[in-house]
Structure 1
Amino acid sequence: MQNSEITEKNIVNKLASNIHHYDDEPMYQLLITNNWCSSEILINDMLVFKNFQEPLAGPTVDINNYIFKSGVQTVTIRMYPVGKYKDEDIKTFIAGTGMSVTVNEYDEKSEKDNEIIKYTTPIKEERDEYGQLQFEAIGKTYYEARFTFNATIPYKVEGFENARDLREWDAAILHKKLLQEYNKVKAIYQNKDYDNIARTSYDGLKNEVISKYQTREYIDEVWEMLMETYKLPTFEMQPIENYKMVFFADGKLVALMQDSKDPRVRGNSSLWAKFNRGEGIETLFCNSYFYIPKGATEFKIY
């Protein structure tokens, strides 16, 4: 019954009604340099970036929809060895492993563009026998770092301060309850229940369009693209298997995530589908999270 007033036909209008514009519309981004490692980056303990396929990458990632209020925001970097790449199997960090993450703020209205903070993974004081710099964690299999920055936002979105800490639950009971929810959502997609797809998508989409100051035209385009995929006759949900239960948002959110080293699925939800538009098999991961408001006992989806 979550978002019971939302339907496939009215979701675009409902989302657009939440959008407001301001004199200042800051956009926060991560500018990432990823060298010879796999990695994950979290903002406020929510996954915003994952890379398990390209050992050398330099993406830019918008993060406004993970900033729920002004003040201190926390960035967590997790690094893993590359693993199998071309003809090599790189099982530990090498000398050239490293990451840099820059938090940047820009505003198209005021044309402001400034670097807030930059983090670079540390290197050893001594160079190797060839005179090259060496990653501090060379030879290891995991590295984690955290840093913070301040953000000031004009919009208001609902975070998870009023959600229960699910880490306090009995793990077996929580897992059973969560798996039931996943199977319900899987059935919604498989049965092409488009109104309920809209209802389960609404909260996450609402926060995104509000925090990124989107237009109705953008929302319409995104929803149309999603619905085209869901309505394909080849769209087929996959079995919920080979997963692990993972907490996010400091225990306020929980998800069943792929428990696989396969770079094609690693770091994604266990709720996913395959489809074919006529150009080969594609995949869609339904990266939804679940939470329980304080004073309640039933899950809501985000």
Structure 2
Amino acid sequence: MTDRLIKLIALGVCLSLPSCAQDRKDTAADNKIAGKTDYQKEGVLFKLKHEHLDCSYEILLNDMPIVTYFGLGERSGLTVDLNQYILKPGKQEVTIRMFPVKKEENHFAPKLSKSAFVKIEITKNKEPMTMLDQLNARGKGKEYKWETLTYQTPRLDKPLPYIAYKTSFVVDEKDVNWKIVGWSKSKKLNNDPNLRKEVDEFYNNYKKVLEEGDRNKFLSLVRTAIDEEAASKPWDKEIENQLTKNMIDYAAEKRNFIYPCTKAELKFFGDGRVVTLVCADTLTFGDAPLISKTAKNMVPKSHTFYLHRPAGTNKLEIIR
């Protein structure tokens, strides 16, 4: 589920609300549902910084999307955490897909220009590390952040409608102190003739849960995604508490859905084991078909998530 904020909020809600605490049992299964995940208190955090010029683009790590941009304007200096997409140490595959730039709300350029590029920088650092820790490290001549990969797409010789590049980096075994399954053991989905119907039903149910503001149903839908992100990332307790304090009511806040997507398509990732829906309309191209706002916050929010079918089941679940 790429809507990182939703997951962090949901995590804070379940850790803090009395109703979650009241439901806790002694069994391991019930503890997991109640939010008692094995959170990392410290460790290595991998991050990707990205920028671009004159293009739309997708960045994938191990065939899972971590950045998708089909909007207007340019973006630079934005970062995304990578730990939850690193399922095991060793070589990590990065794919950059470039598309023509969006010129107006309903218009894309026909081709990529020669000036188009995407630049990424992947770093790792120890967490948690306060500003004082960083200053002390610098004062003692010690590093607190290490560059892992820097890559910029080559200059185009001629305008093209689409181009993709691949690169990679290596993660040391000592830097991975988490164990998550992700989509590695999930069933293949891209040859299932009944998949579209099941995906549509899942999206309709997800929309209904948010429209009704049903906190418990929402948490059950995103539980696995929350657990795996929490298990793979070192958490700063102050940040966690602040998220909980500021956004504890998010999951219970009723949402109105806007910008109906008249044409949504299945898109596969994770070597065919993960699926999502994306809009093919020019206005909302590349976005999830669920876009909402609330009475308190009129800024539209795109609800992007990724589904898989775990081994041993025939039911779709949110994995990211």
Is 1:119 aligned with 2:151?
Answer: yes
- TM superposition shift of 1:56: 4.9
Measure the CA separation in 2 of the matches of 1:106 and 1:197: 33
Matched AA of 2:207 = K
8 A Cα contact 1:36 1:56, kept in partner: no
Change (3 A) 1:60 1:215: closer
Extract unaligned runs of 5+ from structure 1. 1-5, 124-134
Extract unaligned runs of 5+ from structure 2. 1-13, 25-30, 130-141
- TM superposition shift of 1:205: 1.8
Pairs within 5 Å for 1:37-56:
37-51=55-69, 52-56=71-75
SS at match of 1:293: coil
Measure the CA separation in 1 of the matches of 2:75 and 2:208: 38
* Alignment TM-score, normalising by the size of structure 2: 0.76
- TM superposition shift of 1:147: 1.2
- TM superposition shift of 1:55: 3.0
8 A Cα contact 1:167 1:247, kept in partner: yes
Is 1:150 aligned with 2:173?
Answer: no
Change (3 A) 1:20 1:222: same
1:96 pairs, out of 110, 115, 123, with: 115
1:213 pairs, out of 228, 234, 237, with: 234
Measure the CA separation in 2 of the matches of 1:200 and 1:221: 24
Higher mean alpha-carbon deviation, 91-100 vs 8-17, is at 8-17
Match of 2:132 in 1: none
Number of residue pairs aligned between Structure 1 and Structure 2? 275
2:270 pairs, out of 229, 236, 249, with: 249
1:274 pairs, out of 276, 293, 298, with: 293
Higher mean alpha-carbon deviation, 93-102 vs 216-225, is at 216-225
1:71 pairs, out of 90, 108, 121, with: 90
Change (3 A) 1:168 1:236: same
Measure the CA separation in 1 of the matches of 2:88 and 2:237: 24
- TM superposition shift of 1:82: 1.2
* Alignment TM-score, normalising by the size of structure 1: 0.80
Is 1:288 aligned with 2:311?
Answer: no
Partner deviation per Cα, 1:248-299 (whole Å, 9 max, x = no partner): 211111111222332xx43332223222326xx2222222222112232222
Partner deviation per Cα, 1:68-93 (whole Å, 9 max, x = no partner): 2212111110111113159x974322
8 A Cα contact 2:126 2:144, kept in partner: yes
Measure the CA separation in 2 of the matches of 1:116 and 1:60: 14
Match of 2:316 in 1: 299
2:222 pairs, out of 201, 221, 224, with: 201
Measure the CA separation in 1 of the matches of 2:77 and 2:238: 29
Is 1:28 aligned with 2:28?
Answer: no
